[in-house]
Structure formats: structure tokens, C-alpha cells
Amino acid sequence: MAQQTITLIGGGLVGALLAQQLARRGFAVEVFEKRPDPRQAGFLGGRSINLALAERGLQALRSAGLADDVLQRAVMMRGRMVHARDGSSGLQRYGVDDSEVIWSVSRGALNMLLLDAAEAAGVKFHFGQSLVGADFDAQRIRLADAAGTEREHPIGMLIGADGAGSAARAMMNAHTPLGERVESLGHGYKELEIPPSGELPGAVLQLSGGRDQFALEPHALHIWPRGGYMCIALPNTEGSFTVTLFLPAQGPAPSFATLPDADTAAAFFSTQFPGLLSLIPRFNEDFDSHPVGTLSTLYLDRWHLDGRALLVGDAAHAIVPFHGQGMNCGFEDTVVLANLLAVAPNDGAEVFAEFQRVRQPNANAIAAMALENYVEMRDSVADPHYLAKRELGALLALRVPQHYMARYRMVTFTHVPYAYALERGRAQDALLEQLLRDVTRVEDVDLDAAASLFQSSLPPLPPLRG
């Protein structure tokens, strides 16, 4: 059993799960978290923000023994429900059956569950303690409480899991430059709420609608693509949905800059998302009180200072949210790191270097795929060429499942490295483009020839899980 203490900064999703896994492997773990303990009131009655949990995150939770507990509090999403401008909608299933689904989980509830699990494994949490200074040579950090009172604390190994705006990263970078590059997407987001349908005006009329308390199909991820921008909605267990509007921050209408107040925004919604607006009774209050979030991708040359400090999760590789993989990727990080540390607990420098070697190409790959998925989501779900490619892909997935699998499914439902999914996706895409170069309709493609082309051009897919 290892005896040394590992100091973690940040008790968010990744920090809490990493802490639990390290404690289960015999490490003494202490966590400093800026915010107060969410289990001591605070999240209750607050905004319910949710996230999509997919196979990679679920696999990490399985290895931590927490998957069943989490799934019990999750809402199954079988596919994307695309809402067209004309008000029509259709469900595109993610997989052939319910073995390929994703899960909507409440960020607050998940964080609390992970904090409970980490504490039960022996982790010591210090809430309301913000990292404000670090001396990596003297192995000391400085912490401030909510009142601003500072104190010093000795550290051994430091792990920064303090999110996209990481203070640990800033301090490491001040000691030895990490080669940081932040690429702003230029689009922001705003969260709005659809309450359970019983709370909507005209609820009586909907009581026999067959969806119970949900104003929309509950078992789907809803998308309102509008080309250049979009809304999405994920279901909550209580019958509500959290809607997120993604829109350019600046520039000509529509952008957040051209929606300075709730009335202007409501007028915009009434033309672009009329059906959706009627489901958001507190639109004006939500719009005025919720800030516009910013979206960027973070790239670092280095994730660690030899064996003294390491960054994980968003602190190391924040990405845009359009593949729903930021948390899933951070959860994958925790398993890789905990396993490496368990094998060589006294060799921090080697372990951190190996962690970066394994994870950085994958973090870069999901960063790229997440950016691409925004364009795909908001623009090309309606593009005929894109739809033809997807249709041909679906046929090939049935005919030559060893040789073709949609990139979305590799990312969302398998454990193949993200870098592999990106590379394989490119190779498959090139073949699909070749097949659709001279024909416009999928019916005109010779499927036997297409299947042979995939079999002869690409090696069989690797094992998808494990």
C-alpha cells in the first residue's frame, strides 16, 4: 500500500472520481475545492444542468463500482430528435437497440454521488478552499477560504482537476511554461428550462398526451438545428428539460450581441424556435438571470511538471461540448492515471510522462471531433450529401460490420482510443466520398462493390470494448 499523500485541486466531476479511485488503490488523498460542499444544501433548488454520459464515462464508473448508482438517477436517450423549422420532428436512433443509448445525468446529483463515494473510500475533502498560490520547489500551496483568509499547506504530489479556468495550470505555467494555447470558438451558450408539462400553461390539454409529465419525448436528445446556430434539450428525471442555445457571441444577427435583452431574445425565438418558446414559460427570467457561457478549446504542450504536478480533465484539455464527451474523456483519464500510479506509486515523473503520452493524442482527437460535430449538428443534419453518406454508411454497417462503423458510434459506444476513431473515420469518409462521387442517390451505389471496397481498403475494426 502506498503511503504518500496526493493533493488534488478541484472536487468537481473528474476530481471527485479520481480521488475515489486513488483512495481505493491505497493512496492517502486530500481534495481542496473552491466551492462549499454541495451536499450541505445549495444544489437543491438550484438550476438543474445536465450532461450526456456515454459508454466511456460509464466504463470508468463501472471500474469504480458506481455505474449502477449513477444509471439509477439517469434518463435514457435513445437517439436525437431533430426539430425542423416547419415544426416537424423525427427520432434518429443512435443504435439498433437499447444497448446503444446515452444517458442524461444531473451535474449536481452526479457530483454529490461522486463526493459521497470518494469520502466513503477515505478521501479527505476541504470545501470552500481555493488554490491561490503554489511553490513547487518548496512543495507548498496557498489556499484561501471564502472570506479571503489565506493559509499555507505542504504537498507531495499535486494533481490539478480544477476545470477549464484552472488555477493549478496558471501556477504550473508560471513555474515552467506549459505551451498553453486557448482557441475561442466565438460562440456562446445560454441555458433555459422547460418545466414538467404539468407546470406549463394549458397543462390540462396535455394530460392525456401519453408522455406523462414530459413536455417532449423524454428518451431523446432534442436538437433544433438552424444552420449557424442551434438549440438542444436534455431530459431531467423530474420531467423537466434543460435547453441550451448555442449562438455566435458577436457579429450580425443572430448573435448574443444582437440579443441584448430578454424581449429581443423572445422575439428571435418566436421566429426561429416557435414550438420551443411556448415550452419555456420563464423565458425572460431565465434569459436575464443566466450568464452567456463561453466555449473554447485548450491545448497544452505539457500536462505536468516532472513528478510534482499534473493536470487532468478540463484543466488539461477543455473542449467544446458538441460531442458530449468532455466529462467522458475526463473520466477515462481517471482510470488511466489511477492504474499507472498504482503500478509505480513512487515514480511520479515516469507516471505523469506516460499519462501524457497515452492521453494527449486522444484529447487532441476528441477536441477536433467535438469542433467538427458542431458544424455537423447545426448545418448538415439537413444537407442531402451528408444524409446520403449517412445512409450509405448505415447500409455498410449492416453488410460489413467488421469494416465500417460510423465515427459517432466509435466515439460514443466503444472504448477504442479517440485518436483511432478520428483516423478510422477519415479513412472511411474518404471511401464513402469516392462511392458517392459519381452518383447522387444511394440506390445507385453498387453495394456489393462498396462492401468489397471497404474490405479490401481497410483492416477489420479492432475489439470495440475492453
Name which of residues 42 to 81 contact ligand FAD (CB under 6 A): 51-52
- Number of residues forming the site for ligand E1W (CB under 6 A): 12
Coil/strand/helix, residue 16: helix
Longest alpha-carbon distance in the chain:
72
Indicate the residue among 130 and 360 with the shorter CB distance to ligand FAD: 130
Which does residue 32 bind out of ligand E1W, ligand FAD, none, counting CB within 5 to 8 angstroms by kind? ligand FAD
Distance of CA 378 to the CA centre of its chain: 17
Cα 455 to chain centroid distance, Å, stands at 33
Site for ligand FAD in 272-301 (CB under 6 A): 293
Q: Residue 93 forms beta bridges with which residues?
A: 79
d(C-alpha 50, C-alpha 116), whole Å: 19
Q: Which range in 113-121, 170-178, 321-329, 351-359 contacts ligand E1W by CB under 6 A? A: 321-329
Q: Compute how many residues bind ligand FAD; rule: CB under 6 A.
A: 32
In the list 13, 14, 17, 102, the residue contacting ligand E1W (rule: CB under 6 A) is 102
> CA 155, CA 307: separation in Å to the nearest integer?
12
Which residues, at least 6 apart from 436, have a Cβ–Cβ distance to it below 8 Å? Answer: 385, 388, 389, 392, 442, 445
Q: Which does 102 bind (CB under 5 to 8 A by kind): ligand E1W, ligand FAD, none?
A: ligand E1W
Given the rule CB under 6 A, which of 116-124, 192-200, 327-335, 342-350 is the region that contacts ligand FAD? 327-335
Q: Alpha helix (H) ranges present in 290-404?
A: 314-317, 326-343, 348-378, 384-399
In the list ligand E1W, ligand FAD, none, the entry touching 163 (Cβ below 5 to 8 angstroms by class) is: ligand FAD
Q: Angle formed by the axes of helices 418-435 and 447-457, to 10°? A: 140
Selected from 322, 352, 355, 404, the binder of ligand E1W by CB under 6 A is 322
Q: Looking at 24, 80, 308, 403, which residue binds ligand E1W (CB under 6 A)? A: 80
HSE of 124 in the Cβ direction (CA atoms, 13 Å)?
7
Residue 323, Cβ density class (10 Å: 0-12 exposed, 13-18 middle, ≥19 buried): buried
Binders in 98-157 for ligand FAD, by CB under 6 A: 130-131
Q: Is residue 201 within 8 Å of residue 214, measured between CB atoms? A: no
Nearer to ligand E1W, 30 or 376 (CB): 376
Query: How far is the C-alpha of 126 from the C-alpha of 110, rounded, in Å?
Result: 19
| Amino acid at site 144 | A
| CA proximity to 229, closest of 103, 91, 368, 85 | 85
Q: How far apart are CA 196 and CA 212, in angstroms?
A: 9
From the list 5-13, 377-385, 420-428, 430-438, the region that binds ligand FAD by CB under 6 A is 5-13
For residue 393, state whether it binds ligand E1W (rule: CB under 6 A): no
Residue 323 binds to ligand E1W (criterion: CB under 6 A): yes
Select the binding partner of residue 80 from ligand E1W, ligand FAD, none (C-beta < 5 to 8 A, by kind). Answer: ligand E1W
Residue 244 is a binding residue for ligand FAD (CB under 6 A): yes
Q: Should residue 321 be labelled a site residue for ligand E1W when binding is judged by CB under 6 A?
A: yes
Smallest gap, in angstroms, from Cβ of residue 94 to ligand E1W?
Answer: 7
**Residue 9 interaction partner, one of ligand E1W, ligand FAD, none, beta carbon < 5-8 Å per kind:** ligand FAD
Residues in the chain: 466
- Do 454 and 396 meet the contact criterion of CB atoms below 8 Å apart? yes
C-alpha cell at 326: 468532455
- CB nearer to ligand FAD: give 210 or 291: 291
Stretch that binds ligand FAD, among 6-14, 68-76, 120-128, 252-260 (CB under 6 A): 6-14
Least separation in angstroms between residue 235's CB and ligand E1W is 12
Query: Is 143:153 a contact under the CB 8 Å cutoff?
Result: yes
Q: Is residue 314 part of the contact set for ligand FAD (CB under 6 A)?
A: yes
As measured in angstroms, the least distance from the Cβ of 130 to ligand FAD is: 4
The single residue among 20, 24, 34, 396 that binds ligand FAD, judged by CB under 6 A, is 34
| Cβ proximity of 193 and 240 under 8 Å | yes
Residues that bind ligand FAD (CB under 6 A): 9-15, 32-35, 51-52, 130-131, 161-163, 167, 189, 244, 293, 313-315, 321, 324-328, 330
Residues that bind ligand E1W (CB under 6 A): 52, 80, 102, 221, 232, 321-324, 373, 377, 412
